[in-house]
Structure 1
């Protein structure tokens, strides 16, 4: 072998070694995102898990870790504290924090639940027929439940004297049982959370429960959104954009094939009732993610005028110290372009 051939082989070996050496460096260079969900593992979280398992986040240079949640209001405080990079939480809880501590509050960047799911549930034979009938009664809910947090706003619109209503907390897994046993007169929650938790507990929600929905009394509020910490957005804007691109792609996959999407949910929690969780997923898409405005602005965005009305309502009902602007609460600049986002779910 000639000296030139040896030099070529040696150079080639160095190049290969160099390339191989970059593999772990590339993996280490992926941007880490610690993300807290709104609740325990359920069907409507399929897009998060699908994006993770199919490598959509990895393609965007992201290493995403998901933790289960404790209620839709909780992720806002957890991201604000620095315990998490991002989360899926109630934008109305975010409005409250922005009004009080704008420098610490996260920013919403993608609106997933664009139709109000907030409800108060009573037994079918309950004497509570209207919101006014809640006066003198006890309503229970998990401490971080979005509907519980919004009760002052609901009470104001529905002309209920909130001071005459007794509020109590319970563990999420006891909510439906305590209602059926008469330990509370009513419970707070999201429509589909309670509906399908009831089914899993052997309760027929259509025959045994009645729902007093906030949206029927003028609370046309947005609900759960993707939020990121302000510091992370400032330092890693491309990562936020990449996360939303991957998630948007995953939502499209789930809509196209919800049965296949359930595989990713069951992988996280094999003991879930697959049939019920798939039904919960479909109901969430139909009832909580399909506001008519989606056809006009695309999935993931908000209508500024509608969000401003929501902000004003939350500020008034909670007697907040200031009224945040839409821009302080929601930043659409990281969303995929309109043409790439669903216009009909």
Structure 2
């Protein structure tokens, strides 16, 4: 008796339809399965800018599709992207340019969903600083962390802003003391990410001003959900479930930031022991919320990444970071997919509600 299964007309049609869906790039429905344990890395410490990962886990947005996700802190966007590409984590978040950089250096990465549209790379000054425009930075001291993801893009920002970089006095520092140097007025300015520096400066009683690189035609996206292309090819349903859970957490957070903060401190109780923890969390979350509401999400749905912006980011990475002759420019279709994004949208009333909660941060990103 043959052990080969009988191929009925119904199963043949289902198989043909499934193959056609894969070939056309359509999202495949996630099939319920036994709980799957997955690992997930943040780009940095647990904070307001990556709080959505804890919301996705705590609210069961991943669990309802059979995913048991362990969330771990990161040690910088580039190390996080490298760890994801190397398969040390199943999924994770990192700023888009770090993912592109790692892909250019040969580690396979694909970005499944965008959680923010401005990494907030910038030059920061105190509110009472006489520095009002980028040109005013000439002759001044700027403290920078050379390993920070913003650092390679500082020269092109200065050039586009009409600043003579040779007239700036650079001070390379450890990230642990960067903000303290500005608060003590031992330097005139800082370079870095506003979304990370602002919580520290606000908690110290300062309301800094930021000169954003993005205002000079530098679309440098914030955190994106990433995995390995092999995982996407092998289990697109799992990738879709990860995207669905994360964007659902985005919507929840945008509409109820207070509940999201309560979840964060429940999920990461040790963070409540940080000095002025609630204020620091709110500042980082508020800035994240504001830049998560940019046009790509409003027009195309949560998680959508604009291919034109990605094409620009790829060029910027190849011109400013991936300059080794061995580095290879990633193909746009290989580094970015919107296959699973755009399904979840906010109404005009919901966008207005989200905006009203973070109006105090509009000036930070203007």
TM superposition shift of 1:72 = 2.9
Residue matched to 2:173: 169
Shift of the 76–324 alpha-carbon distance from structure 1 to 2, 3 Å rule, reads same
TM superposition shift of 1:148 = 1.9
TM-score by length of 1: 0.79
* Bigger-Rg structure (1/2): 1
Deviation readout 1:181-235 (Å, 9 max, x if unpaired): 24444222222322221122x2311xxx332211222213222211112333233
Residue matched to 2:93: 88
Q: Any conservation in 2 of the 1:51–1:247 contact (CA below 8 Å)? A: yes
1:42 lines up with 2:47 in the alignment: yes
Q: Any conservation in 2 of the 1:34–1:86 contact (CA below 8 Å)? A: yes
Q: Any conservation in 2 of the 1:93–1:149 contact (CA below 8 Å)? A: no
In structure 1, C-alpha distance between the alignment counterparts of 2:77 and 2:111, rounded to whole Å: 13
1:262 lines up with 2:261 in the alignment: yes
The alignment of Structure 1 onto Structure 2 pairs a total of residues equal to 308
Shift of the 274–123 alpha-carbon distance from structure 1 to 2, 3 Å rule, reads closer
For structure 1, the 5+ residue unaligned runs are 1-27
Residue matched to 1:281: 285
Where 2:70 maps in the other structure, the secondary structure is strand
In structure 1, C-alpha distance between the alignment counterparts of 2:77 and 2:134, rounded to whole Å: 23
1:119 lines up with 2:119 in the alignment: no
Residue matched to 1:327: 333
Counterpart among 107, 110, 119 of residue 107 in structure 1: 110
Q: Any conservation in 1 of the 2:45–2:74 contact (CA below 8 Å)? A: yes
1:1-345 equivalences under 5 Å are: 29-101=34-106, 104-124=107-127, 126=129, 128-134=131-137, 138-142=141-145, 144-160=147-163, 162=165, 166=170, 168-171=172-175, 173-200=176-203, 202-205=204-207, 209-267=208-266, 268=268, 269-272=271-274, 273-286=277-290, 288-318=291-321, 320=323, 321-335=327-341, 338-342=342-346, 344=351
TM superposition shift of 1:68 = 1.4
Where 2:80 maps in the other structure, the secondary structure is helix
Q: Any conservation in 2 of the 1:98–1:328 contact (CA below 8 Å)? A: no
TM superposition shift of 1:108 = 0.8
Q: Any conservation in 1 of the 2:83–2:89 contact (CA below 8 Å)? A: yes
Where 2:273 maps in the other structure, the secondary structure is coil
TM-score by length of 2: 0.75
Shift of the 29–41 alpha-carbon distance from structure 1 to 2, 3 Å rule, reads same
TM superposition shift of 1:164 = 6.2
TM superposition shift of 1:113 = 1.0
Question: Which moves more between the two structures, 86-95 or 158-167?
Answer: 158-167
Deviation readout 1:10-55 (Å, 9 max, x if unpaired): xxxxxxxxxxxxxxxxxx9532221111222223333211221222
Question: Which moves more between the two structures, 319-328 or 296-305?
Answer: 319-328
In structure 2, C-alpha distance between the alignment counterparts of 1:278 and 1:326, rounded to whole Å: 35
Deviation readout 1:134-191 (Å, 9 max, x if unpaired): 45655334454332242233234334455665351313x4221122224444222222
In structure 1, C-alpha distance between the alignment counterparts of 2:112 and 2:141, rounded to whole Å: 36
